[in-house]
A = this chain, B = another copy of it.
Amino acid sequence: MSDATAAILIIGNEVLSGKVDDTNSPFLIKALRQRGIELVELRVIADVVDSIIDATRALSAATHLFTTGGIGPTHDDMTIEAIAEAFERRVVHHPQLLERLHHRYGEELSPARLKLAEVPDGSLLHVSDESPFMTIQFRNIFILPGVPSLMRSCFALVADDLGGSPIYSRAVYLDVAESDAAAAVAEVQTRHPGVSVGSYPRFDSAPYRVKITVDSRNLDEVLLAVTDLKNSLKIEWMVDIDGG
């Protein structure tokens, strides 16, 4: 689990149409990074069964897939049905969710509310004595709500079980055109295949014009590559070096 990867699937017409700003992605991106889990892809799709099927099949190739949205009681909530269909499972009422709904609504348990107990067959629930929320997991897919406050509460229930190991990162800031440094930076990447070297230009009034980043789960490799970078680049280009 030390090289855990993740994918995020945001399900919601409201994000694609710009009615709602997606705050779930920025939260999850940072939360995964902090835990040393490499995010390999993020998709935002509509509440359409076929789209959800295709995307969950493709993205569940990562160690963990987090979906958000589409698990409410209404006609446009199709996530549970689609994930079940993607993996040829039936939709069933999870006994524990059903019990909670019975406890809460009693005789007022309408068909719409019953939908809140639906899960793909074979799902398990993450619960905690400290939280009123439950998080649905089916295979390696964590099925989270779309409402940001609920999503965060549900993510917190599973965050400690995700594995991951620290990703180390260093940055070198240059005051030179990106194209002038490109050849030397590319050679450093070739000599250090165990690290990931990125080059990010700026075109504003920042005190540097290019940020070169070096990332790896192996700190020694990061430090070796940064040393090589310093030796390969002209000293007068270098503005700053940091751990960011």
Contacts and interface: CB of A to CB of B under 8 A. Distances in A.
B112 A147 contact: no
Given A17-B33, A73-B179, A74-B186, 15 more contacts: A16-B38, A16-B39, A17-B169, A17-B215, A18-B26, A19-B198, A72-B179, A74-B179, A74-B181, A74-B182, A74-B199, A77-B199, A110-B183, A112-B182, A149-B204
A43 B43 CA distance: 4
A113 B179 contact: yes
Interface in A111-150: 111-113, 115-116, 147, 149-150
Interface residues of A, number: 64
24 contacts: A13-B198, A14-B200, A16-B38, A16-B40, A17-B29, A18-B32, A19-B169, A20-B200, A40-B45, A40-B46, A41-B45, A43-B44, A72-B179, A74-B181, A74-B182, A75-B182, A75-B197, A76-B198, A110-B179, A112-B183, A115-B179, A115-B182, A147-B203, A150-B203
